[in-house]
Amino acid sequence: MPTSAIRLVHFTGRLLLTLAAVVALIGVFLVLIVLTDGAGSGLGAWLPALGVGTVAALWRGRRRTWPARLVPFLPVVVAAALTATVCIPTVPTARRYPPSLPFVVTQHWRLATGSRVAVYHYPPANPGTRRPVPLVYLNGGPVRGISLLDHRFLRLLARRGYDVYAYEQAGGGRSDLLPMGRYTISRSVRDLAAFVDRLGRGKVDVLGFSSGGAVLTRALADPGVAARLHRAIIAEPGPMDGPTAHITGHRGRKSARGLAPAPAGPRSTHVPRYAVAFGLMRLGLLTPGTGLIGQAEGDNAFTAADLGSDTASGYCARDADRIPAEDTAQNFSFSPAASLRIQQTVKDSPSIAPRLRRSRTPAMLMIAECSSQVRQWETTVLADDPAVQRTQYLPGVGHHMWNGLDDNNDRAAAVITAFLQGKPAPLPNYPTRDEIPAFLRDLK
């Protein structure tokens, strides 16, 4: 074999050994991140990993001459530099709240539960058409700001005579953060009751969307909270309790997930620190209260593009090439850690079905044709709540039913208006309780 070839083989071998050492040290660092739950912004893992690498380098160079003793430290230096990026914040660690909206005043209410929430009020456009019962909107998330797309829909309802109130749940949008351990689905229900009391208008109608629908469903199962509700609209609900959350089943007709262009804009997950933090949290290897990144830092870092295909899953496949901009970068707000925490408390909660079966608050269930929700999350509400008076299956829309496309907002508003006014439904009552088995069997 020629001398040059031998040298190339030796160089390649040394390079591979160096890369293997770098990868091994990064692996040690990630294991320690998990074991320490990211303590000290990751330094609790970085320093021991550096120590392990240093000891290994000293051992490997113990019999070499002085200059050659430095060679084993090369992978240590490289691994230390790479892993240090996981320990250094690149966004402010104190919460940066979205700026005020130009078209509605942001109020802040301190609730009896201790939560300080951002509140938006859309009075009826024509006071002469004011409906006597206020309408409260619970957005999805669970811990997310109200999007501009939703604000537009709320203004549409106000133009139809409704006195609309919406609040961003604790930790979301412009609402104050809570200590991580206080984010629970039960706290969300108590906040709803406290909000209605703070409003001081007697019973209210509530429209709960997605995870907001799950909060509303649990409120209907609590007699003390349900007594504050006049009518309830449960739109595309998430799982209502632990048994429901563990149901596996099919979803609605094909959504735009995997078909729509990737969302534009910066992603925090392209930054090593947040890619590691959010990735390990999603895998359940870091707790929502991890010491790697604080709640405020995580909220500041997370962008709309980080939601990826989750946004596309809210639309029908036929709309893949025309998904609207739901929000702006300035208004977008999502708390990944607090949302995971609330979702976990739902999974850990016992069945609410026995209490929900005693509900007497008139309710309506809204289901989207191209829903990304597990169908049994929705049909379980229908099966267990005897006060659900009608179900409205909306064709041609995905999970985000009022999405500004075509006449979708008007159709959703017509369904809501008819129920709140006790008028005949614009769509068939489908599925009924008796039709649930066929509805699931036909993969509707």
Residues 80 and 112 in one domain: no
Residues 11 and 113 in one domain: no
CA–CA dist 368, 412 (Å, integer): 10
Q: Is residue 272 part of a domain?
A: no
| pLDDT computed for residue 400 by the predictor | 95
Q: Is residue 307 part of a domain?
A: no
Pseudo-torsion of CA 53, 55, 56, 59, nearest 10°?
A: 160
Reported for 285-290, long-range contacts at CB under 8 A and 24+ positions apart, including other chains, are 285/34, 286/33, 286/34, 286/37, 286/38, 287/37, 288/180, 288/183, 288/337, 288/338, 288/340, 288/341, 288/344, 289/180, 289/181, 289/337, 289/341, 290/37, 290/38, 290/337
Which residues, in sequence order, are CB contacts of 289 under 8 Å at separation 6+?
180, 181, 295, 337, 341
| pLDDT computed for residue 15 by the predictor | 63
| pLDDT computed for residue 287 by the predictor | 95
Residues 367 and 226 in one domain: yes
Residues 144 and 32 in one domain: no
H-run or E-run covering 383: helix 375-384
| pLDDT computed for residue 437 by the predictor | 94
| pLDDT computed for residue 12 by the predictor | 61
Q: Is residue 262 part of a domain?
A: no
| pLDDT computed for residue 33 by the predictor | 96
For the chain (length 444 residues), average pLDDT per consecutive 10? Answer: 59 68 90 96 93 83 70 83 94 96 97 98 84 95 96 96 97 97 98 98 98 98 98 97 93 92 88 95 95 96 91 94 94 96 97 97 97 94 97 96 96 97 96 95 85
Q: Is residue 286 part of a domain?
A: no
Domain count within the chain: 2
**Taking the model in full, what pTM does it have?**
0.92
| pLDDT computed for residue 309 by the predictor | 83
Whether residue 431 has a cis bond before it, omega within 30° of 0: yes
Residues 56 and 190 in one domain: no
Residues 23 and 133 in one domain: no
Burial 128-142 (b: 16+ CB within 10 A, else e): eeebebbbbbbbbbb
Secondary structure of residue 146 in the 3-state scheme: coil
| pLDDT computed for residue 75 by the predictor | 84
Give the pair of three-digit tokens for residue 269. 């997950």
Residues 212 and 343 in one domain: yes
Residues 225 and 359 in one domain: yes
Could you read off the pLDDT of 110-165 as tens digits, one per residue?
Answer: 999 999 999 999 999 887 777 889 999 999 999 999 999 999 999 999 999 999 99
Residues 245 and 208 in one domain: yes
| pLDDT computed for residue 74 by the predictor | 85
Decide if 249 contacts 279 (C-beta within 8 A). Answer: no
Q: Is residue 389 part of a domain?
A: yes
- What is the span of the domain harbouring residue 419? 107-255+322-441
Q: Which of 84, 99, 128 is the last residue of a domain?
A: 84
Q: Which of 34, 69, 84 is the last residue of a domain?
A: 84
The pair phi, psi for residue 219, each rounded to 5°, is -65, -40
CA–CA dist 28, 89 (Å, integer): 21
Q: Is residue 342 part of a domain?
A: yes
Decide if 228 contacts 204 (C-beta within 8 A). Answer: yes
Decide if 169 contacts 142 (C-beta within 8 A). Answer: yes
CA angle 90, 93, 94 (to 5 degrees): 140
Give the pair of three-digit tokens for residue 27. 């692996």
Q: The CATH number of the domain where 376 resides is what?
A: 3.40.50.1820
Q: Is residue 290 part of a domain?
A: no
Rg (C-alpha) for the chain, rounded Å, is: 26
Q: Is residue 270 part of a domain?
A: no
Residues 375 and 421 in one domain: yes
Residues 165 and 212 in one domain: yes
| pLDDT computed for residue 17 by the predictor | 72
SS3 string, 206-273, reads EEEECHHHHHHHHHHCCHHHHCCEEEEEEECCCCCCHHHHCCCCCCCCCECCCCCCCCCCCCHHHCHH
Residues 328 and 372 in one domain: yes
Which residues, in sequence order, are CB contacts of 317 under 8 Å at separation 6+?
253, 254, 255, 256, 259, 370
Give the pair of three-digit tokens for residue 291. 């010491």
